[in-house]
Structures are given as C-alpha cells and as structure tokens.
Amino acid sequence: MRELSLHIMDIIENSISAKATLICLEIIEDKNSDILKIIIKDNGCGIDEKDIEKVKDPFVTSRKTRKVGLGIPLFEAACLRCEGRLDIKSAKDKGTEIEAVMKYSHIDRAPLGRIEDTIMSVLLYPQVDILYKHIVNEKEFNFDSREIKKVIGEDLTLPDILQWIKQYIKEGIDEIGGGVY
C-alpha cells in the first residue's frame, strides 16, 4: 500500500467485519524519539486465543471467498521494513487492539497519507463510531463521531455532512502539523 492510511482502513474493515461499533484510532508522531505509532482498538468479537498467532500468516483468513488474508501480514511487513513491529492483543467478545510501531525517519516508511479519507469511508457504515486522536510531539487533535451525532442526529452518511467532517479533520491535522510526511 502506498499510504499508511490505507493500511489503517484495511485493519478497520476487519474490525467492522468483527461487528465492532466503536473504533479508536490513535496516531502518535513522536519526532523526538523518532517513533511513529498507530494504535487501532475496536470492540468487535475478538480473536480466539489459539488463532492470535496465526492471523499474521497470510494463509489464514476467516473469509469464505478465498483462502488468503493479506491485510495484517502486509501491515506487519510495512512495519518490519522500518525497524518496527506489529502487536496484536485480543480478548474474545471484548475486542482487538493492534499496535504498529515504525521508525519515524526510516527511508522506507510510507507517508501517513489521507487519514481524513479513511475516516470518511469508515463513517459510511452508519452503525460504526470512530474516536480519533492524533498527537504530533506535544500537540493533539481529537475527533469523536459520537459528538457529531449529538448535533446532527444518527445519520452521518449524507455527502454534505461527510464533506464537512473531512474538511474538519483535514484542518485539525494541518493545525497540529500532522501527516506532513
């Protein structure tokens, strides 16, 4: 994938398939210690303990349409080639947490890309809420789709509203100087 935001989207699609209704996305750009960290947490159905080591294997998938699942292995490969790692923690019926760590300045690290596009596409699922926190050094931007739903009602899937959310997030990320690279 060309952008990390596409990996994030792919992982969130897994969460949604696992019937998650709340997704917490946290991006930490710590330039002082040269670390980029992405944490994706959901309240979906979780992964069985016996399967948790297997999900990094590309030939393991819960899907029925074909026999390979590349989402997690691809993301892990992206981390490993930047001196990083990918950890998965999961509790059955409670949810899953994925933590990806990369060396911020590594030459092979893909840019974060358009996080706002990823969030917008997630919000097309009416049943899903997203809590997004982006930290760049000491600056922070927060977005909570539940707050928006308080103002506008439950249906966020209208194009005008999604456009507003996209702009809002874009401005927020720009303000803290996030995702530049």
Q: Distance (Å, rounded) from C-alpha 89 to C-alpha 96?
A: 6
Instruction: Please spell the DSSP secondary structure of 41-66, one letter per residue.
Output: EE-S----GGGTTGGGSTT--S-SS-
Considering the complex, state which of residue 33 and residue 154 has its C-beta at the smaller distance from other proteins.
154
Give the interface segment with other proteins, choosing from 35-43, 82-90, 99-107, 114-122 (CB under 8 A).
Answer: 114-122
Work out how close the CB of 152 gets to other proteins at its nearest, in angstroms, rounded to a whole number: 5
Residues 52-64 as b or e (16 or more Cβ within 10 Å = b)? eeebeebeebeee
Does 151 engage in binding with other proteins (CB under 8 A)?
yes
Considering only residues 18, 45, 125, 176, which one is a binding residue for other proteins as defined by CB under 8 A? 125
Considering only residues 43, 90, 118, 145, which one is a binding residue for other proteins as defined by CB under 8 A? 118
Give the interface segment with other proteins, choosing from 31-39, 78-86, 93-101, 120-128 (CB under 8 A).
Answer: 120-128
Does 57 engage in binding with other proteins (CB under 8 A)?
no
Does 163 engage in binding with other proteins (CB under 8 A)?
yes
Considering only residues 4, 20, 82, 120, which one is a binding residue for other proteins as defined by CB under 8 A? 120
Sheet holding 95-103, edge to edge: 85-91, 95-103, 35-42, 22-30, 129-136, 139-144
Q: Distance (Å, rounded) from C-alpha 162 to C-alpha 121?
A: 9
Work out how close the CB of 122 gets to other proteins at its nearest, in angstroms, rounded to a whole number: 9
Q: Distance (Å, rounded) from C-alpha 146 to C-alpha 56?
A: 32
The phi and psi torsions of 21 (rounded to 5 degrees) equal -115, -15
Contact positions toward other proteins, by CB under 8 A? 1, 6, 9-10, 13, 17, 63, 65-66, 69-71, 74, 117-118, 120-121, 124-125, 148, 151-153, 155, 157-164, 167-168, 171
